[in-house]
């Protein structure tokens, strides 16, 4: 189990106040890391941080808006300066882009400029700047793990997801490949996670509505949507020594969707 141990490591997770971000932060803490939770939701951060501490973990938090490039850079720099190292960063923060093209509101001619721009600023530019900021520190220390959260909607067309969401998640997949090639000589591994449908608060928790959950579940070979806890094992793998020969890939966690 030493391969999966994160004792003495420092990790940061964006979008960590709830959902997949919180689940991954909990997982890294359980594996022994000091975890810094980053999110725009201050109240959610406070709850998440205290829950991790109550469970015996080491957790800090800071409010961060990933649509603000300067704030990302300052936030990541502050973590590295405070701890003297930065071992793992998970770029998880993201937003939905509204309904997919099966409804009139989600069809291509209905996509509004401001909606498109907002989703790109968070789901793509925010992920890029998070990776960029982490890479600066990891290249100097010649080690590190970077994980970007994409989506199965970035690997295939998806009728349930909006245009900006699918476009940004596809871009994240290639961003992972590009950064992995540059950072490989520095022993910095860059990988992606492509979740399928999970029971989270994205889109205001819309997926928790029974009819929506049933519709998503019907697309999954396992016949259900996932709990956030089901992403924890992969998060530990990709942030630990166990992934020492893995870089440039995006791994689906999707109940079999991509196997169809």
Number of Cβ within a 10 Å radius of residue 113: 7
Taking each helix axis from N to C end, the angle separating 113-120 and 163-183, rounded to the nearest 10 degrees, works out to 30
- Tally Cβ neighbours within 10 Å of residue 23: 21
What distance, in Å, lies between the first and last C-alpha atoms of the chain? Answer: 33
Give the C-alpha separation, 104 to 174, whole Å: 30
Query: Cα–Cα distance between 238 and 247 in angstroms, integer?
Result: 9
* Nearest Cα to Cα of residue 94 among 211, 208, 240, 200: 200
Examine the residue annotation and report whether 101 is marked as an active-site residue of this protein.
no
DSSP SS3 for 149? strand
Indicate which residues carry an active-site annotation.
165
């Amino acid at each position: 189990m030493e391969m999966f141990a994160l004792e003495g490591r420092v990790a940061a997770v964006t979008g960590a106040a709830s959902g997949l971000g919180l689940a991954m932060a909990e997982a890294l803490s359980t594996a022994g890391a000091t975890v810094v939770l980053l999110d725009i939701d201050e109240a959610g951060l406070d709850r998440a941080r205290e829950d991790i501490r109550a469970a015996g973990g080491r957790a800090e938090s800071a409010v961060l808006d990933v649509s603000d490039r300067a704030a990302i850079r300052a936030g990541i720099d502050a973590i590295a300066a405070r701890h003297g190292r930065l071992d793992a960063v998970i770029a998880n923060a993201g937003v939905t882009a509204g309904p997919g093209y099966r409804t009139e509101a989600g069809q291509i001619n209905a996509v509004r400029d401001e909606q498109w721009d907002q989703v790109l600023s968070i789901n793509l530019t925010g992920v890029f700047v998070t990776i960029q900021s982490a890479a600066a520190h990891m290249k100097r220390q010649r080690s590190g793990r970077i994980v970007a959260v994409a989506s199965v909607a970035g690997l295939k067309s998806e009728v349930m997801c909006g245009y900006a969401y699918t476009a940004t998640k596809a871009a994240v997949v290639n961003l992972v490949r590009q950064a992995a090639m540059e950072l490989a000589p520095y022993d910095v591994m860059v990988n992606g996670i492509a979740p399928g449908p999970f029971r989270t608060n994205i889109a205001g928790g819309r997926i928790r509505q029974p009819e929506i959950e049933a519709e998503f579940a019907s697309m999954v070979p396992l016949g259900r949507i996932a709990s956030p806890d089901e992403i924890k094992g992969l998060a530990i793998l990709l942030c630990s020594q166990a992934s020492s020969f893995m870089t440039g890939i995006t791994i689906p966690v999707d109940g079999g969707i991509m196997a169809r």
